Structure formats: structure tokens, C-alpha cells
Amino acid sequence: MSADVVEVSIKGLMPTANGCAVFLGNDEKIFVIYVDPSVGSAISMTISGVKKERPLTHDLIGHVFLGFGIALERVLINDVNEGTYYARIILHMQNELGRKFLEIDARPSDSIVLALQQKRPIYVARPVYDAVDDQTEILERVLKQQKDDEKGDTDQ
């Protein structure tokens, strides 16, 4: 990939009053995207490898991709405006008629689930990455608190 994008991964998840905070980043910086509860649950289940009895929406989309011979190439979080993030999923299809790339507008939250399920990279446009506040310290504090809480539970 070029220098105008930065690869990120999920560094942490935290339930919130209205959904879930998804911490994305790399060794340089971590930022947060807030998602609704159902997508937060889908991200958590995908990370944990939870087997589901029936396919959820993101599973269905993955099955449709597979059925049509479509591969998810990557996810790009390409914009942020007043705290709302925007993303594109880049798909690739090759068949007897040729090769085609398709770029589709999508919510970052849904895009993240699909990228995790398909084990594909998540990128952030450099201007977005440069514009977001670094939340590394907050995530470290949350993870330390969770660890301390778990330790306190085992001590009792």
C-alpha cells in the first residue's frame, strides 16, 4: 500500500452505554470508533471465534461473497466528519469474463466485521489518521483497570 494510508488493527473493545468503543491503531497511535451494540457484539464474537448456530448479517454477506466468487481485498476508513467515520470496502472478482475491482461505501463498523471475518487488512486514510486524537493512554488505562478487576475477582 502507498504512504497515503496506514494499516491498523483492533487493539481493544469496551462496552459503552450506547454500544461499544472499538479501539483501532498501530504502534504509533490508537483511536476509537463508537459502534452500535449489535455490531460491537459481532466484532467481539468474530475476534473470539464464537461459533453461531445460524448466520448473522455479516456472516450472510460473507457467504454471498463466497457464492459469487467475490473476495474482500481490504477495508479503508477514508473520512471522518464531526466524529462520524466513513469507509469503503474494496472487492475483487475474477471469472471467465475478466477481472473487476469494486469499491463500495459502507459503515466502518460493518467493514471491520467483514475484514475480521475474511482476515483482510484494515487501512485508514493518512489525513484521517493524522486528524484523530491518540487514545493510547485511555486504552492502556481501561485494560489495566480490567486486569485489576479480574485480579480482584480471583483474590476473593
The per-residue pLDDT for range 59-77, each reduced to its tens digit, is: 899 989 998 889 999 999 9
Count: domains in the chain: 1
pLDDT band at 36 (very low <50, low <70, confident <90, very high): very high
**Helices 108-118 and 57-67: angle between axes, nearest 10 degrees:** 60
Give the length of the chain.
156
Pairing of strands 19-25, 30-35: antiparallel
CATH number at residue 20: 3.10.690.10
Structural domain that includes position 143: 5-155
pLDDT tens digit sequence for 101-115: 999 999 999 999 999
pLDDT tens digit sequence for 123-150: 999 999 999 999 999 999 888 887 888 7
Pairing of strands 70-81, 122-125: parallel
d(C-alpha 4, C-alpha 144), whole Å: 33
Helix or strand holding residue 47 (H, E): helix 37-48
